[in-house]
Chain A
Amino acid sequence: MNVFRRLAAQWAERYRKMSIQMVLSLSFTAVAAAGMLLMSVSLIWRFSAVNEQLVAENSRRVLAQANLNLDSYLRRMMRISDTVYYRSIKNMDLAEDDLTGDLSLLYEENRDDLVSLAVFDGEGALVSAVPLTALKRDAETADSDWFQAASQSMENLHFSTPHVQNIFDDPDYPYRWVVSLSRHVQLTRDGATEGGVLLVDMSFSGIEQVCRDVTLGSGGYLYLIDGDGELIYHPRQQLIYAGLLEENNRAAAAYRDGSHQEKFQGRSRQVTVKTMGYTGWKLVGVAPAESWFAASPQLPLFGLTLLLFSIFLMAFLNFLISARISDPILRLERSIRELDKGLAGVKIEEGGCYEVQRLNHAVASMVSTMRHLMDDIVRQEGEKRRSELEVLQSQINPHFLYNTLDSVIWMTESGQQTEAIQMVTSLARLFRISLSKGKSIIPLADELEHARHYMNIQQIRYKNKFTTEIEARPGTEGLYTLKLIIQPLLENAIYHGMASAEDDGLIRVTAYREGEDLLIDVEDNGLGMRPELAASLLDEDRPEVRTKGSGIGVRNVHQRVGLTFGEGYGLAIFSEPDEGTLVRIRLPALDREEAERRRQGEEL
């Protein structure tokens, strides 16, 4: 029981690890093979049963024919006996007539079948015999089985089992095998009757010839026994007599007429018995099991070939069909695994049978919905981030406002009316452009104007330690840009580039077109920085330190441009220590229509 449980557990474990195709194909193949095996076994069983019946039928037919032939032969011998008795002995007085003449005549007529004809008186003394006329000196005729049988049962004719006839004196000592037919007869001598025995010795070869040519199919044979099972004829009789072979003749003597199954010396065989009418002898037909179980030894092999080929075909078809069923499921599973790994652009195929198609469709629909939701989340997050950045950048630095207003007060008190007015005017313009009616995309000219006003204010504050050049090259007319992207760069240039300037500082802003892009360069001739530091300023993972000149404004501009226009757009910083810094803004070259379309998109 434990073994079965362990096997079941092992099978369940193996089943869990098997692919669906393997489960389908192996199960189908196993069921098909079992079915075919069952069918083959039942066919073979049925075939064998029918064959067994046919063999039995054939044996019965052959035995009936052999019985007919043998009976005919024995009846001929009995007729010879009758002829001797009723035509010669009954009509003769032995005191006057000689029986030998009649016996010789009959013997000559039947010499192929007869060995001797003899008549004995009641004491066993020879009355007459042919062809040998004298008995051996020590012949004990009266003690012979055939004599005793005839004397004891006077009404019948008696057939002996084969024996060597040894009573006649033959100088050649031929030792002939005979079957003796004996009967009790009434002899007449001097008018008086007395008992006697008539002996007809049939040549054994006569019986042998009748039985020898009978065949019972493959490996089958026929033998003849008397009522006690004593062997009369067997195709391998001398081997049995010599002790080199055994036969089941004693058991066969007990069988009734008909077909029987027996197992002899480890081999199954079918034995058919037919009892001969007068003699009580039994014809026994033997057919070994092989002769009906497989009429030809090639038949089971041919059956095996068919079975194996059928299983091969079934397995091949099962593998194909199971692959066709399971492949779409496997592809779906592979796609889901790829999705799980985060691969983009994974396509869900909608192949296979109806149920699998529905499953694929449902999964594809679910993935699509998920993607849309994720896109929405990403977009919303981007929008939110951009809005935050825009709000951050649109806020006027309170220090800047305080310093500017402080400068205006100082200039007013010192009588520099014109400079004060210029500063206030630039501040007002700065605010106006910053607002821009809430629009995030404004004309390039306005952005440059915004930069110019900012620089005007800063130049006054820094007492013209640096000069500013702002240029819009041809081709940029009518183009639009993101609002407030130059001012943070200028602020950075002033704080980092111009800190140590000695009236020779230069900040140059140049807008120009390159293909479908608008480029705005903000360049200073200040201290500059190492290229790796310059590269790190745009690194999103850089810790956010809100100090003056930390570069956070520059990074915000970079993120805003990226969030608004996508990858490929943003800032690039080129700098060398003591040579200055160039910050380049790359934007799509937006015309009025495109700018308007984007604005509407943002509003939506």
Chain B
Amino acid sequence: MKTEKSRLIQIAILAALGLAAALSLALPQLLRGEREPQLLSLTVLLRDTDSSGWTVARQGMEQAADELGAELRFLTLAAANDGAEQEELLLREIEDGAAALVVVPADPAALSAALDPWLVVCPVVTLESPMEGAAGVVSPDNALLGQELAEALLEDWDGGEVLLLDTAGRCAGVSARLAAAEETLAAEGIPARRAEALPEEPPRWVMAFEPSVTQRTAEGREAGGRDFALYGVGSAAAITAQLERGNLAAIAAWSDYAAGYLAVRRAVNAVRGTGGALGPLPFFILREEDIYAPENQKLLFPIMSSSSR
């Protein structure tokens, strides 16, 4: 009886050892499958017709895609801020097998409703504006940004009305910046009004809350030889150049490179089920005299751009 028990124990030990040896032999094959994830196909869709203002963000996205094993497809709209076209394009991309989407939503609420059935199979990461059901948003704290930009204006303000360019339509992130700036100015008793476009005779103080509008307004100021103090957002080279030329009084800037990198990284992590939530992107208020401070140089002018030029 005891001998039988001993034999059973021995057979069990041999079986366990044999199984472990076989498993360790098969493990590299199993691990190899896990270690070599498929190249993910990601679609990046802007809400502008032109992607030139996103060059730096794109470099960050490509860096992340290169590191994390993804390939990017950049799309722009035929008409700026066309939510319907954006929905149509995104649905087509999902049908074509996009693993995840990185979007600058024109109308986050409508886009969320349209993509709702697909959000589980195709994670969406937004830039600029948060969207319900999205895997994450990469954006500065829009309300705080609007507030600090208004405070920058307050430092210079010596009387007169402030014009707030309300150009974003249903873009929640931009609207949040505008609302916060408006509230800050109102709290200080500064007269302010909204306008969808710059009037022929603008007041002395103008605030823009989108990079593209900031750039256009600054270029318009220079071209028209107008004299008003413009406060805007964005860190593209063209905006920085306008700041340096004195067409912008101050800008709220952030690292577009970091924004692009984080957006793609979050999208890849969402597909692979890893990574955590994203915090708001750091931003800073920049005036002309601070452009070439070493830390600002590093954030505003991506070092890779020198080699690509």
Contacts and interface: CB of A to CB of B under 8 A. Distances in A.
Interface stretch (A174-182, A357-365, A412-420): A174-182
Interface string B56-80: 0001100100000000000000000
Contacts of B298: 241-242
Interface stretch (B3-11, B145-153, B222-230): B3-11
A15 interface: no
A330 B3 contact: yes
Contacts of A301: 24, 27-28, 31
B14 A305 contact: no
B18 interface: yes
B3 to A, nearest CB: 6
A175 B303 CA distance: 10
Interface residues of A, number: 43
A244 B299 contact: no
Interface in B5-52: 6, 9-10, 13-14, 17-18, 20-21, 24-25, 27-28, 31, 35
Interface stretch (B100-108, B125-133, B211-219, B253-261): B253-261
A164 interface: yes
B247 to A, nearest CB: 12
B309 A176 contact: yes
B240 A173 contact: yes
A162 interface: yes
Contact of A241 (B9, B13, B17, B299): B299
Interface stretch (A17-25, A80-88, A252-260, A474-482): A17-25
B292 A164 contact: yes
A373 to B, nearest CB: 32
B28 A164 contact: no
A308 B19 CA distance: 9
Contact of A302 (B6, B28, B301): B28
A308 B28 CA distance: 15
A162 B17 contact: no
Given A239-B63, A297-B31, A301-B27, A21 B301 contact: no
Given A164-B301, A241-B299, A315 B240 contact: no
B305 interface: yes
Interface stretch (A151-159, A201-209, A501-509, A584-592): A201-209
Nearest to A236: B63
A201 to B, nearest CB: 11
A305 to B, nearest CB: 4
Contacts of B301: 164, 175, 177
A124 to B, nearest CB: 16
Contacts of B299: 241-242
A304 B24 contact: yes
Task: Determine which residue in A25, A177, A209, A238 has the highest number of CB atoms from chain B within 10 A of its CB, and name it.
Answer: A238
A163 B295 CA distance: 10
A242 B14 contact: no
Given A242-B255, A301-B27, A312-B14, A162 B63 contact: no
Contact of A242 (B2, B31, B257, B292): B257
Contacts of B31: 297, 301
17 contacts: A19-B3, A164-B292, A175-B237, A177-B306, A178-B306, A236-B63, A238-B60, A238-B63, A238-B303, A239-B261, A242-B60, A297-B31, A301-B27, A304-B24, A305-B21, A305-B24, A315-B17
Interface of A: 18-19, 21-22, 25, 29, 162-164, 166, 173-178, 203-205, 208-209, 236-239, 241-244, 297-298, 301-302, 304-305, 308-309, 311-312, 315-316, 319, 330
Q: Which 7 A-B pairs have the closest CB atoms?
A: A241-B298, A173-B241, A205-B307, A242-B258, A177-B306, A308-B21, A312-B17
